Structure 1
Amino acid sequence: MDLLALADFNLVARHGGFGKASRAAGRPKATLSRRVAELEAGLDLRLFERGARDLKLTEEGRALFERTSKLLTEIDETTAAIASGGHSPRGRLRISAPLLFSQTAMGKLAAGFALKYPEVRLEVTTEDRAVDMVEEAYDLVIRVNPEPDESLVGRIFLRDRLVIVASPDLPRPADGRIVPAVIRGPDSEARSWNVVTKAGRASISVSPVLSLSSLVMVRDAVRVGVGAARLPISLVSHDLADGTLVQWADVEASEISLWTLYPTRRLLSARVSAFLDHLREAFPKGTPDELAAYLGR
């Protein structure tokens, strides 16, 4: 495949037309049109639908653009870095991270990364949903216990677990006694928590009294004493240490794994590699205690 023709196709697709691409790049419009036509002929595919006034990508054109635009950007940036004698990562790095990790750790992580790599334009968005990395142009996503996805590769960089915690003023549950609970999200139909104590497996009957959208809010509500909650041990370890909260039990089968994920269809960029190294430096062991120490107060 002619990489120059592919680059011209990406230029036209990015700007949404031959005229706009011509003005942006200072290239003749006729040259861009010819190069794209040659690429279409070589692939035996129509990449654009050409209307009287507008130009739209076909389904095949959109797929080609999504899968090649980042590769061409990587080539341009690598060439520029080599030409200038530099080896430091540079360019835009887009990351999607879950809400709790973003609220508690991502600000500090991002700031440290920005200081270390000033030529990288780091953009972090908070998403608990499973984003489409290619369609939404993310370079890296951080997810909690993600579903298997053959189009992505990744690894665990942190582990955590859920525990039942409450204010010391809230009486521990007796047999059959219903406990007021603070939960995350809409009111669940579940009315009991399966737990593990020193005595073995047990069940705690609960009645939700608060439903909140953030685990940080759940923790703050539990501190006040309104009810018990299931929370990550890293989020409450300082409260447990100073007696602000007490732990009733471990939640049964509640391991939490934080993964870094990235597409397999392109080379791992220097920016992504640098951020993965940054995470390893911050959490070399990947334990809940390590995360709790990183979060501090």
Structure 2
Amino acid sequence: MDLAALADFNLVAAQGGFGKASRYSGRPKATLSRRVMDLEDSLGVRLFERGTRSLRLTEAGRALYERTHPLVAEILEAGDLVATGLSPPRGRLRISAPVLFSHTLIGKLAAGFARAYHDVVLEINAEDRNVELVEENYDVAIRVNPRPNEMLVGRCFARDEMLVVAPASMPVPEGQDGDVFDVPAVVLASGFDSGHWNFTHEGRQITLNPRERLRMSSLIPVRDAVLAGAGVGLLPRSLLSLPCVDKAALNIWGPVPDRPIELWVLHSSRRLSSSKVNAFVDYLSNAFPERKLFAAE
């Protein structure tokens, strides 16, 4: 099978027509048509149904496209990497980042990266879902406590600490070690804070049974509801370290050691990492030299 003809077939299939593929690539429409016909002849099957004003994949064409498109993309990317060698990072870098991280930290980090790498354009999407990097054409994903995935590689660039936080008017429960205390709680819809909350306060081991009063979709409204006196919540220290937070309105009861928070920057193990991806991973890691998401107090 001619790899160049296969690449042209994938280009036409992805663009939905020879004219669009020609405009996208800057190559003659006749050349693309001839290369696809040569591929059809070599395989002995028709890959496109050609109408006067339409073009669509045959069943065989769709099967070939679905099986070969990711592979062809990786081969072309590998060729680009070899051709560019050690050239400076350039091009568009698509990043998926959690909503909270995006709203509190990514803007400053992105500005610093842009100053350091003028030829890279960052496209950052704030979303809490786990995107499919290859299928959705992302270069990098930032994730919190990611599960092991053989299709992804990367590094942990920062850690955070989860705290039991209450309104300033609510004191820490009094009692004996082993007691379980019911408390009104503001919880996450994701269930990250489900179950008992265990923490240490002044040498005492304390267990809380959170009684749900409010359920929120993200941590910022959890924080705001706790500040407003709705109940107790689990909040990362970094979210309480922001200048906009009235710390006098909060009572930090103690850290929760069994709910660690790790932030990872990940990219696909199925692709050769480009210079722009490597530059971003290194920049993000260097931005947190102590691997802490919050400043030391």
Q: Is the 8 A contact 1:182 1:211 kept in 2?
A: yes
Higher helix share: 1
Q: Give percent identity, aligned residues only.
A: 46
Q: Is the 8 A contact 1:173 1:179 kept in 2?
A: no
Q: Is the 8 A contact 2:89 2:120 kept in 1?
A: yes
Is 10-19 or 163-172 further displaced after alignment? 10-19
What is aligned with 2:222? 218
Is 45-54 or 243-252 further displaced after alignment? 45-54
What is aligned with 2:153? 153
What is aligned with 1:120? 120
Residues 263-282 of structure 1 correspond to what in structure 2 (within 5 A)?
Answer: 263-282=268-287
* Structure 2 unaligned regions, length at least 5: none
* Structure 1 unaligned regions, length at least 5: none
Structure 1 residue 211 displacement after superposition: 1.8
CA distance in 2, matches of 1:98, 1:8: 37
What is aligned with 1:292? 294
Residue 238 of structure 2: SS of its match in structure 1? helix
Residues 20-35 of structure 1 correspond to what in structure 2 (within 5 A)?
Answer: 20-35=20-35
Q: Is the 8 A contact 1:173 1:204 kept in 2?
A: no
The count of corresponding residues between Structure 1 and Structure 2 is: 287
Q: What is the TM-score when the length of structure 2 is the normalising length?
A: 0.82
CA-to-partner distance for each residue in 1:213-245, whole Å, 9 max, x for gaps? 221221122223321110112222468995442
Q: Is the 8 A contact 1:157 1:280 kept in 2?
A: yes
The reply to whether residue 98 of structure 1 matches residue 98 of structure 2 is yes
CA distance in 2, matches of 1:238, 1:173: 27
Q: CA RMSD in A?
A: 3.3
CA-to-partner distance for each residue in 1:180-235, whole Å, 9 max, x for gaps? 21112278995642334443543112222222222122112222332111011222
CA-to-partner distance for each residue in 1:86-137, whole Å, 9 max, x for gaps? 9321111111111111111111111211222222121111221211111111
The reply to whether residue 64 of structure 1 matches residue 68 of structure 2 is yes
The reply to whether residue 179 of structure 1 matches residue 178 of structure 2 is no
Is 168-177 or 257-266 further displaced after alignment? 168-177
Matched letter for residue 255 of structure 2: D
What is aligned with 2:258? 253
Q: Is the 8 A contact 2:227 2:249 kept in 1?
A: yes
Is 3-12 or 129-138 further displaced after alignment? 3-12
CA distance in 2, matches of 1:179, 1:202: 12
Q: Is the 8 A contact 1:71 1:266 kept in 2?
A: no
Q: Is the 8 A contact 1:157 1:286 kept in 2?
A: yes
Aligned pair in 2 of structure 1 residues 222, 28: CA closer, same or farther (>3 Å)? same
Matched letter for residue 73 of structure 2: S
Q: Is the 8 A contact 2:165 2:253 kept in 1?
A: yes
The reply to whether residue 234 of structure 1 matches residue 235 of structure 2 is no
CA-to-partner distance for each residue in 1:62-92, whole Å, 9 max, x for gaps? 342234336525644774x57xxx9321111
Q: Is the 8 A contact 2:216 2:222 kept in 1?
A: yes
Is 195-204 or 92-101 further displaced after alignment? 195-204
CA distance in 2, matches of 1:217, 1:172: 22
Residue 146 of structure 2: SS of its match in structure 1? coil
CA-to-partner distance for each residue in 1:249-296, whole Å, 9 max, x for gaps? 222411111111111112101110110111022112212xxx2239x9
